[in-house]
Structure 1
């Protein structure tokens, strides 16, 4: 179904909560909100590619929060998405700043996937389990996630180190890997705090 009419927040949230026509709901969100959200990223030290990556994460997290009844429409969808977008991008900028300093802080060979979509809270055991889960995703996912989150490489740089056809394929693969990791974490309740419910800030 192609949505050509105005979709009110209540209907959008209801459809997402019930899993009705999710692809159409995502297209509607993109059509109505991508321009303003991407403008914020690109006017705050980000590129078009950054804006697309952040928007993709924001939409995934927004749907997750709605389906878990953690966003019930107390504010408008537009306002909430903007806040989520801003929070995600500012966290990404902080992560990039830390990435320049942390090489000497971590012992050589220590693998850490820092999914810094909100405050990172975990003890050593949780971190070890998270690393194990990343390993269970397979070599391709493990490599992409480590290169992106630990080595802080761009999609273009990751493409040069992998066998994929283009940057969009890499971006799609990263997205699928994150969704698989999320599903695995959801099966282990004691690990959920490691990622703080994906942007539930």
Structure 2
């Protein structure tokens, strides 16, 4: 497939547009997923879930036009599904954390493992972030809240504000770790 199908092509499944789209981006998605240290079978499952979400969004009318390429849209769905998978299958366990108390990075540890040098860097630099960034990242990555949940918990006006704040905080943490 040299060019991406149009929204109309997908809705009518013109020339088996979905099948071609699926095959065309599968290898790229597997390469993308490997950056997260996932096994190929896990990546393929996530890709299939992401593709199904794209298909359902089209059928349900949630997508009326693409503001980016279909590949970008598909990969953004996949990225969030990868994050969900990583959170759900994380080695991080909460130990001795009392119920109904705030859980912080200090309460988290790896099960029967010593933190790697990289993980120690992340933990040390996490403490250098402002309280607002720490809170947003804790809610999203450690507690598994969605951006909408965080908007409500922290009383933000829009989910997009939370999304950009999380993005900036994560970028700042990456800069600190890689400095």
TM-score with structure 2 length normalisation? Answer: 0.47
Looking at both structures, which has the greater relative contact order when contacts are Cα pairs under 8 Å and sequence separation is at least 6? 1
TM-score with structure 1 length normalisation? Answer: 0.42
